[in-house]
A = this chain, B = another copy of it.
Amino acid sequence: MRSLLAQTAMQLFAEKGFDETTVDEVAAAAGVSRRTLFNYFRTKEDLALSGLSEQGEVIAARLGARPADEDVWVSLRHAFVVLDEIEVSPENRLEIVSMLFDNDSLRAGHAEKQARWTDLLAPLIEPRLPASESRGFQARAIVGAAITCLQAATEEWLRLRGSTPLFDLYDTAVAAIRTSN
């Protein structure tokens, strides 16, 4: 049910745009009442962003499976790469991503959801850092920076209309922030 709703919603959003689609239309298209829709999704935004939370969990699972002595940046990159694999509709990918970045509140929600990945990922890399009172904080900073690189890469990937592989851009971003110039 949840996935049916999310699917029909993405369909309509892709066709008409996010703002131009009402939740009533989504509910009608899915054949349920408006109230039922709100039983499954707290907000309209969630209809478009629900996938992100699940992606976060997949990434966390992947991260947890990396060897404990691996460099944390390497581990994070490996974990992120699942995003390239679980892509359901590669041809619509550009369309969907550009939708997420067109709308202000949607872009904000998207960034926020990804930022919440920090809560999942940071605890997994904290034990790999050298002991320190602020190790937990450092872990959050590192994960946050990695996610920022991913976001910057996605933005650039969108600007280039997908002509450059996402993770090439990601590598460029990470190199840019971690290399002294």
- Residues of chain A whose beta carbon lies under 8 Å from any beta carbon of chain B: 71-72, 104-105, 107-109, 111-112, 115, 129-130, 134, 137-142, 144-145, 147-149, 151-153, 155-156, 169, 172-174, 176-178, 180-181
* Nearest CB of B to A45, in Å: 8
CB contacts (< 8 Å) of A111 on chain B: these are 108, 111-112, 115
CB contacts (< 8 Å) of A176 on chain B: these are 129, 137-139, 141-142
CB contacts (< 8 Å) of A141 on chain B: these are 148-149, 152-153, 172-174, 176-177
Contact, CB under 8 Å: B177 / A137 = no
Q: A152-B137, A172-B137 are in contact. Are A177 and B108 (CB under 8 A)?
A: no
